[in-house]
Structure 1
Amino acid sequence: MRAFEPDSSIVSDIIPSPNYGERSKARQPDMIVLHYTGMPDVEGALARLCTAGTDVSAHYVVLEDGRIVQCVPETRRAWHAGVSSWAGEDDINSCSIGIEIINRGHDWGYPEYPLRQIAAVIALCRGIMLRRKVPAHRVLGHSDVAPARKKDPGEKFPWHSLANSGVGHWVTPAPVVRGETLMLGTISDEVLSLQQALARYGYGVPLTGKYDAATMEVVTAFQRHFRPARLDGVADHSTLSTLQALLASLPAEGTTVASK
C-alpha cells in the first residue's frame, strides 16, 4: 500500500520522505523551484532526500531516464530551498513545490541534461502549474532564490526549452558586446537602478547604490538563468538589456515593488 497517492499521473514511483512539515499559515504553493541533486549517483541522492535526520527533501525527483519519483505530497512543506528569498518572501519552502533533477552538478563534472529528462521536467511542471495556478515567471532555479549559496540547476539547464513549452519566463538574451559595464566597487545611481530592477523582478538584493559582493552574486545568478553565455557577475549591456526585456514582458501583477 502506498504511503500517499501521487499528485501527478506521470509519477512512476513513490519513495516517501519523513523530512517535511506543514506550510506556514496554510500557504498555498504558487512557485516551483528547480534544483539539481549535485551528487555522484541516483541512489545517494534519493537516500539523502528520504532519510530522517538529513533535514532535506523535495516533492519530486526527476531521473535521467525521465522517470519521476514523488517523495512529499504537494500539500506539505518539503525542505528544499533552505535560506532563500524571492519577491519579498523568505519562507520559500512554504510557498513552493521543489523538484530535484538528477545531475551530478558542478562539483562532479556537471553533465548535460538528457532530452528525455527535460521532457519529463516540462510535463511535471505543466501539471503543477495547472493544478496550483503557478504563473510562468514563478518557475525558478535554486540559484535565483539563494544566489549567495547555490548554482543549481546551473547554466547548462535549458530554460529556453522549458519556456517554449510554457514553463518559466524567458526572453532571447541580448548579445554580449563591448561597452560600459557596472562592476564590483562601482558606486553610482546606475548601480542603484540595477539593484531596483533586479528587486522588481524578484531577486533579494540590497538597494545601496554600491556594487558590492552581494550585488555581484545576484547578477551572476541572473546571468546563470537568463544570460548564460558569460557568467562574470559584471552588469554589461547584455545583462542590463536582458533584465529590462524580462521586466517589460512580465504581466502587470508580476513585478515586485522594490523598497529600502
Structure 2
Amino acid sequence: MIVLHYTGMENAEAALERLCDPEVEVSAHYMIAEDGRIWQMVDEAARAWHAGAGEWRGITDVNSRSIGIELVNRGDHPFAEPQMAALEALMRGIMARWAIAPEDVIGHSDMAPARKCDPGPRFDWARLAREGLALALPEAARSEPDAEAFRSAARGFGFPDVADDLLLQAVRLRFRPWGRGDLAPEDMRLAAAMAQVCSSSL
C-alpha cells in the first residue's frame, strides 16, 4: 500500500528534524515539501514507523505492508501545485516498482479514523483519481440513510471496525470532506458506490 500523510508542522525543516529524530520513533519513506522537493528517509523495502495502530482491509500491521509519504502541510490549507505534481511523479514510480493498485493508495485517516485525520479535507483525492493514482468511486444512486448498510459497505471496502460516527467521518474525509451532520442520502450514495467496487474488483 501507499499511505499518505500531512506533517502538521510549519515547514519542511521542522518536519524533517522530527522525522529523523530517533527518540521520537516516527518516520516515513518520503517527505515532499510545498515547493516539490523530495527527501527519501527510509528505503522502500524497509519498514518505516509512519502508520501506527490501525487497519485496512483486515491488515493490522500496515507499517510492514506500506510505503509512507509525508506532505508538508499544517492541515488547514490546500496542497501546493508543485507538491502535488511531485507527489504524482513519485507515486507513479512507487506503484510501478511494487505493483500497487490505485485501490491500495489510502490516507492515514482511512486506516486510523479514531486517531488521525490526515491528509485531511483539503487534500485533492479527486486529482489523484483522475490520474489513475487513487480509486475513483463509480456513480451510484442515493438512498435513505441506513446505518447498517453504510457500515457494511464501508467495512467491505476496507475501512476499520470503529464507532459509527468515526466511520462516517473517515469515509467523508476521503470522498466527501464537505459533508456534515448525520448520515445522509449522499453518504448512502458513497456506500452504494463502495459496494459496487467491492463486488467488481476488491
Shorter-chain TM-score tier? over 0.9
Q: 2:32 & 2:139 partners in 1: Cα distance?
A: 27
- Alignment correspondent of 2:191: 243
Per-residue deviation at 1:231? 3.7
- Alignment correspondent of 2:64: 94
1:223 equivalenced with 2:172 (yes/no) = yes
Q: 2:9 & 2:180 partners in 1: Cα distance?
A: 23
- After the TM superposition, which parts of structure 1 deviate over 6 Å for at least 4 consecutive aligned residues? 172-175
Structure-to-structure mapping, 1:35-114, within 5 angstroms: 35-105=5-75, 110-114=76-80
Q: 1:249 & 1:32 partners in 2: Cα distance?
A: 19
Equivalent residues of 2:32, 2:83 under 8 A apart: yes
Bigger radius of gyration among the two = 1
1:201 corresponds to which of 147, 157, 169: 157
TM-score (norm. length: structure 1)? 0.73
Q: 2:29 & 2:36 partners in 1: Cα distance?
A: 16
Q: Which has the higher contact order (CA 8 A, sep 6+)?
A: 2
Q: Unpaired runs of 5+ in structure 1?
A: 1-30, 182-189, 207-213, 255-260
TM-score (norm. length: structure 2)? 0.93
Per-residue deviation at 1:111? 1.5
Per-residue deviation at 1:250? 5.0
Per-residue deviation at 1:200? 0.5
Deviations 1:6-63 (A, max 9, x none): xxxxxxxxxxxxxxxxxxxxxxxxx000000001222111011001111100000011
Q: 2:140 & 2:78 partners in 1: Cα distance?
A: 23
Structure-to-structure mapping, 1:73-222, within 5 angstroms: 73-105=43-75, 110-171=76-137, 180-181=144-145, 190-205=146-161, 214-222=163-171
Deviations 1:224-257 (A, max 9, x none): 110122144x321111112221331357441xxx
Structure 1 pair 48/244, CA: closer, same or farther in 2 (3 Å)? same
Q: 1:61 & 1:127 partners in 2: Cα distance?
A: 15
Structure 1 pair 197/174, CA: closer, same or farther in 2 (3 Å)? closer
Letter in 2 for 1:36: Y
Q: 2:132 & 2:198 partners in 1: Cα distance?
A: 14
Instruction: Specify which structure has the higher proportion of helix.
Output: 2
Deviations 1:159-198 (A, max 9, x none): 01011111011237879x9x844xxxxxxxx422221111
Per-residue deviation at 1:122? 1.0
Q: 1:39 & 1:229 partners in 2: Cα distance?
A: 23
Aligned-pair Cα RMSD in Å: 2.0
Deviations 1:113-136 (A, max 9, x none): 111111111111111111101111
Q: Percent identity?
A: 42
Deviations 1:213-234 (A, max 9, x none): x1111111110110122144x3
